[in-house]
Structure 1
Amino acid sequence: MAEALNGSFKAELIEHQGPWRDADQVERAVVQWAGWHNTERPHSALDFLPPEEYEAQHHRSQAATNAA
């Protein structure tokens, strides 16, 4: 999965949104991309949910299991 993330990062951000003026511009873009990737982008390995939503769903199901 790490290789897939790195490939997505390079394809979606670095290659398609350059050229970059300086390291600060790249840093801001990386922070924005990481936020979008974790909160909005659906992932096929996670039942087409963003990671944040998938994790929240997992914790809810764990809490329900532990409460029962």
Structure 2
Amino acid sequence: DSYDNALAETINGLYKTELIHKRAPWKTREAVELATLEWVAWFNNQRLLEPIGYIPPAEAEVNYYRQFAKEAIPVA
């Protein structure tokens, strides 16, 4: 199915556009690795997304699981 890799390809495209091509040329592999770690931290913890209420994805995930924890019925 052609849609199997759509999300991965989108993230790879964003990564290359927002980080790799913007800061090129890279001097060392370590510089790319450190910049990648910083970009991933920003992408997950600081980037605000309109479709989920202008909050970071990590916060949305916490809210999602908190909702299910509140709805869970204890088994006695």
TM-score (norm 2): 0.76
More helix by share: 1
Identify the residue that residue 41 of structure 1 maps to in structure 2: 47
Matches of residues 1-68 of structure 1 in structure 2 within 5 Å? 1-43=7-49, 47=52, 48-67=54-73
| TM-score using structure 1 length | 0.84
Task: Say how many residue pairs are matched.
Answer: 67
SS of 1:49 mapped into structure 2: coil
Consecutive unaligned residues in structure 1, runs of 5 or more: none
The percent of aligned pairs where both chains have the same amino acid is 34
